[in-house]
Amino acid sequence: MPNSEQRMPRLSDALYRAILDHTFDGINFVDDMRRILYWNRGAERITGFSSEEVLGQICHRDDGLCHIDEDGRRLCQHLCPLLTAMQTGREIQKRVYLKTREGHRLPVDAVTSPVYDEEGKLIGAVQVFRDASAYERAERETEIIAKLAVTDPLTGLLNRRAMEIELEIEERRSRRLNLPLTVIFGDLDYFKLINDQHGHAIGDEVLKGISRLLAAGVREYDRVARYGGEEFLIMLPETKAEIAQEVAERLRQSVSIWRLIHQEKKWPFSVNISFGVAELRPSEGWEQLVERADRALYRAKKAGRNQVFVS
């Protein structure tokens, strides 16, 4: 009875090439000098470069056949996946970018492996790559959707629900590590007058400008949210009330000297803000913390506005 080797017909090089040419992915092989010795039809379709144009060429030449990163920087000298696979002897899986024949930057998911001859000598590297444009668009859309779920669409600050989740997390951390936690509740003074006298479009520009000012005036790990129409909530982890009061006073002064410049016009009105400050107590949760800051804000409003009160 014939063995499996006798039953299995030997495939010719031409048939191997035909099989590879019918794959969806791009496949290329380079020698140890990174000269391109094989370039299948998938590679032609993805990049626009024909095999006649690239065979025998160095893959890191200047006219587009190099790998680049997402910022357009060439990876040829140190971070080229073909070079890395040959230097390390390992398979490299990485998203990189190629320049197409038309000059477009194309994301590809590439798997690159070193290739050895029968004696174990390195002879080059093979790379299988797939157009990742659809994946990258989907990832970008998912990122945008996730961001929209936690941010206020007008100001770009955290929205109320996102801030409440952050407060819940930070409250637990504060109790576990015995660290202070303070919030600042702010509300623009007489904001309705701005909308009534100048229109809601100008009111929106004021909200966006004040939002940028507040976000720039706190630390990177602090959180700022648009909590309501013209209300803002600032969370200051690891911060005592007296320090938060100083932060609020500094922000109040910055708001008072801020002026709206819109459509190359400096608008004549000024904007003021009132703040209430509260530090987390052992007996309360984050909801009670926010309520106390809100009550301090109400006191600041009753006392004449454009002030900072501490609960």
Q: Which helix (H) or strand (E) holds 144?
A: helix 133-150
| Residues in the chain with pLDDT values less than 70 | 1-11, 60-65, 263
Q: What tens digit of pLDDT does each residue of 17-69 get?
A: 888 888 889 999 999 999 999 999 999 999 899 999 889 888 766 555 677 77
What is this structure's pTM? Answer: 0.61
Confidence (pLDDT) at 308: 97
Q: Which residues of 86-98 are buried (b: 16+ CB within 10 A; e: fewer)?
A: beeeeebebbbbb
Confidence (pLDDT) at 62: 56
The DSSP annotation for 7-33 comes to: HSPPPPHHHHHHHHHTSSSEEEEEETT
Confidence (pLDDT) at 262: 73
**CATH code reported for the domain at 4-138:** 3.30.450.20
Q: Which residues contact 53 (CB under 8 A, 6 or more apart)?
A: none
151 strand-pairing partners: 158
Q: Using the 8-state DSSP alphabet, how is residue 228 labeled? A: S
Distance CA 124, CA 28 (A): 11
Confidence (pLDDT) at 1: 46
Angle at which helix 241-257 crosses helix 200-216, to 10 degrees, equals 140
Residue 202's Cβ-count burial label (10 Å; 0-12, 13-18, 19+) is middle
The residue behind tokens 């801020």 is 258
Confidence (pLDDT) at 135: 86
Confidence (pLDDT) at 75: 78
CB 239 within 8 A of CB 170: no
Among 75, 67, 78, CA closest to 105: 67
Residue type, 201: A
Active site residues: 230
Q: What tens digit of pLDDT does each residue of 209-219 get?
A: 999 999 999 99
Q: How many Cα atoms sit within 13 Å of 213 on the Cβ side?
A: 24
CATH topology of domain 151-310: Alpha-Beta Plaits (3.30.70)
Measure CA 234 to chain center. Answer: 22
Q: What are phi and psi of 299, to 5 degrees?
A: -65, -40
Every domain of the chain and the residues it spans: 4-138, 151-310
Q: Using the 8-state DSSP alphabet, how is residue 24 labeled? A: S
CB 39 within 8 A of CB 28: yes
